[in-house]
Structure 1
Amino acid sequence: MSIEDWIRGRQSGRAGGVGAARVIDVLTSQPQFASYAPARQVADEAGVDISTVTRTAQSLGFRGWPALQLEIRNRYLDTMTAQEILTDHADGTTDPVTAAFRTDMANLALATRTIEIETVRRLADTIRRARRTLVIASGSYLAPAIMLAHVGSLSGLDIDYDDVGGTHRATLVARMGPDDCLVIFNVWRLPRDVLAITRVARDRGVVTAVITDRRSSPLAELGDHVVTVPSEGPAYFPSLTPAMSLINAILNQIVADDPERVRAAISAAGEMWQELDLMDDDLKRT
């Protein structure tokens, strides 16, 4: 679906004045510009004030311009190939190392403005209370999936991640029910198997939590909990920093909500590590 069709679809049946129509025209006719321009520039281009841009974003179902722009930007990037994104981001005047740090800093700042804190709290509570949690992802987003599963397990939760897929993943989901939680990480392109297994889990009554860079997508529509994170990287690959920070927040909330269970779990894990002599921590020996 094109950005114009998506915006027109969300606009359908919603009230809006002349100013909102002008903003919509800018968004649909200049999606690349809308993907990066601050609200002031969008307002100037549409011949309206900033408050009209904000109200238009809210009329389309978003908290404000930053959240709507994040969705437009990710949808715009989704129309491009990896090679096209690399070309689009090419800048011979900027140091690549500095650009990477600055991109992640900007992404974190955007995340703090667009992620709803209460949604994160509810997601953390769902994972903490679930009988079993399965985490799935694809590509580089296996990294936050592994972190959530590893630290969550260390904190005393029955949580694991699956990077095998296929019949193995189907077997795991077949054992799940309404007391369980499926956490899905997805960014940029949506693999068919991820969408299919999420739909199956949802049909079985499993609580689904979607962490994605697109709030409006077939996968997000299946989520009982949906958190949208910025993901644009400095080159052709996505930034993992906002997603990793989100996992930090979820785990930190779980620790705060059930500190005694976490203390008992990490104590037991520490004793097991010591019994198996897993760690070479005695630096004085060398």
Structure 2
Amino acid sequence: MSGSSPAARLQQLFEGHRLTPTQRRIAHSMVRRAGDVPFLSSVELAELAGVSQPSVTRFAVALGFDGYPALRRHLREVTPAGSVAEGGDDAYNEYQQAVLGEIENLRHLAELLADPGPIERAGRLLAASRPLPVLGLRAASSQARGFGYFAAKVHPDVRVLDEGGSMLHDRIDAARRAGASALICFALPRHPKEVVDALGYAREQGLTVVSVADSAFAPVAKCSDLLIPAAVGTGLAFDTACAPMLLGRVLLEAMCDGLPDVQARLEEFDTRAVARGLFVE
């Protein structure tokens, strides 16, 4: 693990452990502050995650350590010297820190994509689904709409589900009856309960669920067949989602590899756009 980033090492440490919701919250907070975690006390980590100090101790034991001090020693041993930038965050104003935080999220995503297997599998699942439902509510609705906009240029039947309510299950039913085999979900904090319920229902109806979420420990993990994480930025009043957006485009690219006549569809759209005068040249 020595050649990977602090966040990647933490993700590997958590893999294979059945964590409670509180423990997933601690894990998520640790990943978000991966460079600082080896130097935090149990009280500081508890405050960061919004949990009690005993919860942090139980979390360390759940990972196989005698307690939090043992976990922290382990993290310090595997953290390369100089991994924390000289000068710290104090060298930048809050706006710069937000941008630098997103750059770090994109670095983590790049490391995740070193193994293209999950992306390629997701691309095949999405390309094969006719129609293709795209779910995203509240904070994730813009991600779903953006994915759906571009996917519709190459996929014959894309159905964006960006509004909740009593009709959501009906629309999932309609997609399944029309032949859908998979659903892609964008799930960002704060996670609506309705999204978790909808994904559980989609799986009950036989759909394979592919999720893009802010963490491998997000609430949608329990009702996803394939989850690919991309962290959100938390440095501003409202979360930023550069990495989830880019991951959506990567999935579109992988989906195109599984669709026939993609180039012909794109050229046909361009021809019609010129004829209709859609864009200012």
Same-fold call, TM cutoff 0.5: yes
Per the TM alignment, residue 141 of structure 1 is displaced from its structure 2 partner at its CA by 2.2
2:152 aligned partner: 153
Distance 2:101 2:26 in 1: 27
Give the distance between the partners of 1:46 and 1:105, measured in 2 at CA: 26
TM superposition outliers: structure 1 runs of 4+ over 6 Å: 4-7, 42-45
Structure 1 position 114, deviation (Å): 3.9
Match of 1:273 in 2: 273
1:189 to partner: Cα distance: 2.1
Offset, 1:162: 2.1
The size of the alignment, in residue pairs, is 222
List aligned pairs for 1:31-70, cutoff 5 A. 31=45, 46-48=72-74
2:23 aligned residue? 3
By how many angstroms is 1:43 displaced? 8.8
- How far residue 157 of structure 1 moved from its aligned partner, in angstroms, is 3.9
Residues 69-80 of structure 1: matches in 2 within 5 Å?
A: none
Matched to 1:226, the amino acid is: L
* Distance of 2:209 and 2:160 partners within structure 1: 14
CA distance in structure 2 between the aligned counterparts of 1:253 and 1:146, rounded to whole angstroms = 18
- Matches of 1:212 and 1:199, distance apart in 2: 16
Report the Cα distance in structure 2 between the residues aligned to 1:4 and 1:255, rounded to whole angstroms: 34
What is the deviation of 1:44?
8.9
Q: Which amino acid aligns with 1:95?
A: N
Q: Quick one: percent identity of the two aligned structures?
A: 15
The reply on whether 1:98 has 2:112 as its aligned counterpart is: no
Q: 3-state SS of the aligned residue for 1:169?
A: helix
Return the alpha-carbon distance in structure 2 between the equivalents of residues 197 and 148 of structure 1.
19
Q: Which residue of 1 aligns with 2:13?
A: none
- State the shift of 1:275 in Å: 3.5
- Distance, in Å, in 2 between the alignment partners of 1:149 and 1:132 is 12
TM-aligned CA deviation for residue 49 of structure 1: 7.2
- For 1:102 and 1:27, locate their aligned partners in 2 and report how far apart those are by CA, in whole Å: 25
1:251 CA displacement:
1.5
Q: Say whether the 8 Å CA contact 1:43–1:52 is kept in structure 2.
A: no
Task: State the Cα RMSD in Å.
Answer: 3.5
SS in 1 for 2:175: coil
Question: 2:266 is matched by which residue type in structure 1?
Answer: I
Which amino acid is 1:267 matched to? E
Counterpart Cα distance in 1 of 2:24 and 2:278: 56
Q: Which amino acid aligns with 2:134?
A: V
The residue number in structure 1 matching 2:195 is 194
Aligned to 1:141: 140
Closer/same/farther in 2, CA of residues 216 and 270 from structure 1, 3 Å limit: same
CA separation in 2, counterparts of 1:159 and 1:2? 36
Q: Is the alpha carbon distance of 1:27 and 1:222 closer, same or farther for their aligned partners in structure 2, counting shifts above 3 Å?
A: farther
**Cα distance, 1:204 vs structure 2:** 0.3
Cα deviation digits, residues 229-256 of structure 1 (max 9, x gap):
1113321322211111111211222334
Unaligned segments of structure 1, at least 5 residues: 8-22, 36-41, 54-90, 282-286
Aligned equivalents of 1:166 and 1:48: distance in 2? 46
Cα distance between partner residues in 2 of 1:109 and 1:275? 41
State the one-letter code of the partner of 1:105.
Answer: I
- How far did 1:129 drift? 1.1
The Cα of 1:92 is off from its aligned counterpart by 8.1
Q: Distance in 1 between matches of 2:167 and 2:264?
A: 31
What is the rounded CA distance, in whole Å, between the counterparts of 1:245 and 1:139 in structure 2?
A: 19
The TM-score, its normalising length taken from structure 2, stands at 0.66
CA offsets 1:90-121 (integer angstroms, 9 cap, x no match): x8863343223211111111222345531111
Q: Tell me which residue corresponds to 1:110.
A: 108
Q: d(CA) in 2 for partners of 1:255 and 1:194?
A: 26
| 1:126 paired residue number | 125
Shift of 1:181: 1.8
Report the TM-score, using the length of structure 1 for normalisation: 0.65
Alignment partners' CA distance in 1, 2:187 and 2:25: 22
Structure 1 counterpart of 2:224: 223
Q: 1:28 to 1:183 in 2, by over 3 A?
A: farther
Q: Does structure 1 retain, via aligned residues, the 8 Å contact 2:130–2:157?
A: yes
C-alpha separation between the residues in 2 aligned to 1:157 and 1:51? 52
CA distance in 2, matches of 1:271, 1:96: 45
